[in-house]
């Protein structure tokens, strides 16, 4: 089994746990089990934490995976985007007014492909990423995807591709030539297992949460 960078796995595992907590509370509010304002600073901050960690660590791992060659990374990006399209289909059927047109999986698939020719610039990607973030008010109208209404998930390229490139810069500066290593212990093993299956967890946790909530409502 390939040795992993345990700190990246721990960050991803924390983000996944935080994501599940956020979506559990969101679903409980959506299905009128509890009433809570998801626009509160705490919940918005938790969502932002999850988003930034996922996007930055994906940028880092894109650099780490450079040894695998170009084709596997493009295939991986296409797979992620395809899963995003499945989410588009499902949300269009279930929540037509809030359908996910360009959510985080769509974004990740596109961002990986866009970043591939930029990997050679290593730390300079931090400057480009910061420039994209700062230029968002001007860039957003030019490159935004039509996501009319209030989509359940929306990740425009500006500013999020800038955040992704900062992850690429961190990967180039810190991880490109660094040997990976594990920290022995049950905790690191659990974190690595969660991080390794992060895509599957992302895809499956919401249907499971919704099903459990509906079962609990019918039994109450």
Q: Return the pLDDT at 204.
A: 96
Instruction: Give residue-wise pLDDT tens across range 72-128.
Output: 999 999 999 999 999 999 999 988 888 999 999 999 999 999 999 999 998 999 999
| Domain range annotation of the chain | 6-219
- Quick one: residue 32, left, alpha or beta (phi over 0 = left, psi -120 to 50 = alpha)? left
Question: Quick one: CA dihedral 72, 130, 123, 57, positive or negative?
Answer: negative
Instruction: Give residue-wise pLDDT tens across range 55-67.
Output: 999 999 999 988 7
Instruction: Give residue-wise pLDDT tens across range 181-190.
Output: 555 556 678 8
Instruction: Give residue-wise pLDDT tens across range 122-149.
Output: 899 999 999 999 999 999 888 877 666 7
Instruction: Give residue-wise pLDDT tens across range 188-214.
Output: 788 889 999 999 999 999 999 999 999
Q: Is residue 99 within 8 Å of 64, Cβ to Cβ?
A: no
Task: Return the DSSP state at 31.
Answer: T
**Cis peptide leading into residue 110 (ω within 30°):** no
Q: Quick one: pLDDT band at residue 1, thresholds 50, 70, 90?
A: very low
The set of residues, in sequence order, having a beta carbon less than 8 Å from that of 124 and lying 6+ positions away, is: 169
Q: Return the pLDDT at 8.
A: 93
Name the more confident of 1 and 121. 121
């Amino acid at each position: 089994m390939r040795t992993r960078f345990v700190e990246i796995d721990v960050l991803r595992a924390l983000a996944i746990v935080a994501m599940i907590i956020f979506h559990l509370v969101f679903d409980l509010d959506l299905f009128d089990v509890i009433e809570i304002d998801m626009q509160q600073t705490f919940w918005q901050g938790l969502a932002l934490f999850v988003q930034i960690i996922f996007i930055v660590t994906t940028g880092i791992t894109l650099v780490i995976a450079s040894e695998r060659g170009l084709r596997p990374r493009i295939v991986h990006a296409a797979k992620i985007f395809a899963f995003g399209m499945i989410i588009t289909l499902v949300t269009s059927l279930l929540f037509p007014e809030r359908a996910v047109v360009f959510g985080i999986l769509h974004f990740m698939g596109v961002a990986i492909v866009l970043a591939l020719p930029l990997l050679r610039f290593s730390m300079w990607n931090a400057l480009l990423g910061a420039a994209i973030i700062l230029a968002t008010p001007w860039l957003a109208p030019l490159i935004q995807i039509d996501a009319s209404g209030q989509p359940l998930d929306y990740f425009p390229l500006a500013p999020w591709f800038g955040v992704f490139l900062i992850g690429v810069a961190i990967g180039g500066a810190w991880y490109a030539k660094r040997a990976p290593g594990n920290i022995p212990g049950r905790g690191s093993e659990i974190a690595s297992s969660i991080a390794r299956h992060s895509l599957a967890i992302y895809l499956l946790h919401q249907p499971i949460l919704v099903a459990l909530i509906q079962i609990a409502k019918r039994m109450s």
